[in-house]
Structures are given as C-alpha cells and as structure tokens.
C-alpha cells in the first residue's frame, strides 16, 4: 500500500449539518479493516466533537481545536499541544462586546465579522496569535499552530510519514494539512481556493466524497 492513513476534516467534509451518516461510518470501518489508520482533524473543541460524534472512537487519533489538542480515543489520552492565550486577551474581547465568544483548552473562537475586532486586540496587546477563518467561523490560536502541526503530532505518535497520508477537507483552514500530506483531496462542496490547490476533487459532496476516496483506496491502493 502506498497510503497508510486517511486524515479527514469533520464539518463540511465527513459531516453534513454537523452529523455523519451511517453509510460513511460503515465506510470508515471498512477502511480501518484494511489496516490503515484513521485520523480526524477538526476545528471543533474536543468535548463538542465527542458529543455530536460518539463514533469518533473508531479513529486512531483526533486532532481538535484546529491543531492545538491531540486525543487518542483508544486510551482516552489527551495532549494539549500549545499554551492558551493570556486571560487579558479574552477579557479585552469581552470588553469590546465580541459575541458569541467561546474558549477551549487553547482556541478562542467567534464568528465573522468579529475577526476585525480580534485582530485589533491582538495588535494592541502585541500577542503572537493568529486568526484562522473557516467558512464564517473565526479561530484564534498561537502563531505556530494549525491543522498541519496537529496532524504532524498525530503522525509522530502513529509512526507514520506525511507522504503516506491521504488528507481530505473543504475549507480555508484545511489547506495546511492537505498541503503536508501525500495526497490532498477537496470534496465537491469545498471552497474554490482549496479545490484549486488540491491534487484531486471528488464528485460527491461531504460524506459521499469521503466514501468515494475510501472506495478508491480499498480498490486501487492495495
């Protein structure tokens, strides 16, 4: 086999409207049965992901918070890969009336157009933070963290090389981990810039596109 793992985004890729259909779960189990590893790479906070997708337990590793948290479902071990933003950053956003505002173990999140206020606070406080967009969502993380760094941490634990991974996504924040993989795939409903940079674009949208890639891996990459 050339490809030893599948790394997939969650919302808009594996899931539609926040849910993964049964056919896609069955396909993931079929792929796992071939000996390949499954890695979930998402911007969601871990607790939220596990609440909406209990089947995450079939994955060998889950990268949450857009690369900041690594979770191993089998052992239930969680590793935080970066420090959280300082408390005065969140307080400054609250004083500016940024709403909604969520805070995970590392990520601070809101929605557009709040990204302008977030950037102003980052500049005022001279923080090494970056703003990552995801189809209207706004995530704030340390400057060195993205889905590629999170995936690399997962691959290190699984003793896999990036070139052995097929990565699939749909949005701006997926570009980093698709670019580092051996084969980057955009689902049919992906944003145009991601499609333009991907090695392959599926015919199907979201879960149907993931199943398409799984079928290809099982049939062709033996």
Predicted confidence at residue 138, as pLDDT, reads 94
Percent of the residues in the chain that have a pLDDT greater than 70, as a whole number = 100
3-state per-residue secondary structure call for the chain: CCCCEEEECCECCCEECCECCHHHHHHHHHHHCCCCEEEEECCCCHHHHHHHCHHHHHCCEEEEHHHCEEEECCCCEEEECCCCCCHHHHHHHHHCCCCCCEECCCCEEEECCCHHHHHHHHHHHCCCEEEEEECCEEEEEECCCCHHHHHHHHHHHHCCCHHHEEEEECCHHHHHHHHHCCEEEECCCCCHHHHHHCCEECCCCHHHHHHHHHHHHHHHCC
Predicted confidence at residue 136, as pLDDT, reads 85
Predicted confidence at residue 180, as pLDDT, reads 96
Predicted confidence at residue 196, as pLDDT, reads 97
Domain layout of the chain by residue ranges: 5-81+145-220, 87-142
Predicted confidence at residue 27, as pLDDT, reads 98
Residue 186 has pLDDT above 90, yes or no: yes
Predicted confidence at residue 106, as pLDDT, reads 97
pLDDT per residue as tens digits for the range 21-63? 999 999 999 999 999 999 999 999 999 999 999 999 999 999 9
pLDDT tier for residue 1 given thresholds of 50, 70 and 90: confident
Predicted confidence at residue 117, as pLDDT, reads 95
Domain 87-142, CATH: 3.90.1070
Residue 157 has pLDDT above 90, yes or no: yes
**What torsion do the CA atoms of 41, 43, 49, 53 make, to the nearest 10 degrees?**
-50
180, burial (CB in 10 Å: exposed 0-12, middle 13-18, buried 19+):
buried
Predicted confidence at residue 135, as pLDDT, reads 84
pLDDT per residue as tens digits for the range 103-143? 999 999 999 999 999 999 999 999 999 999 888 889 999 99
CATH fold for domain 5-81+145-220? Rossmann fold (3.40.50)
pTM of the model: 0.95
105-114 b/e (C-beta count within 10 Å ≥ 16 → b): bbbbbbeeeb
């Amino acid at each position: 086999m050339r490809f030893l793992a599948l790394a997939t985004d969650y919302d808009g890729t594996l899931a539609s409207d926040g849910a993964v259909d049964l056919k896609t779960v069955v396909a993931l189990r079929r792929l796992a049965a071939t000996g390949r590893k499954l890695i979930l790479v998402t911007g969601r906070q871990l607790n939220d992901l596990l609440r909406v997708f209990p089947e995450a337990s079939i994955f060998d590793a889950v990268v949450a918070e857009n690369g900041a948290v690594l979770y191993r479902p089998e052992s239930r071990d969680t590793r935080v890969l970066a420090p959280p933003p300082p408390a005065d950053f969140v307080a400054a956003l609250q004083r500016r009336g940024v709403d909604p505002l969520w805070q995970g173990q590392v990520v601070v999140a809101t929605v557009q157009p709040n990204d302008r206020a977030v950037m102003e606070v980052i500049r005022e406080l001279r923080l090494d933070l970056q703003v990552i967009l995801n189809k209207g969502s706004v995530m704030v993380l340390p400057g060195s963290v993205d889905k590629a760094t999170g995936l690399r941490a997962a691959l290190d634990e699984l003793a896999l090389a990036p070139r052995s991974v097929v990565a699939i996504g749909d949005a701006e924040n997926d570009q980093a981990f698709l670019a580092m993989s051996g084969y980057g795939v955009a689902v049919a409903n992906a944003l145009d810039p991601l499609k333009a940079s991907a090695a392959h674009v599926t015919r199907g949208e979201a879960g149907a596109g993931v199943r398409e890639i799984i079928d290809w891996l099982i049939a062709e990459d033996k």
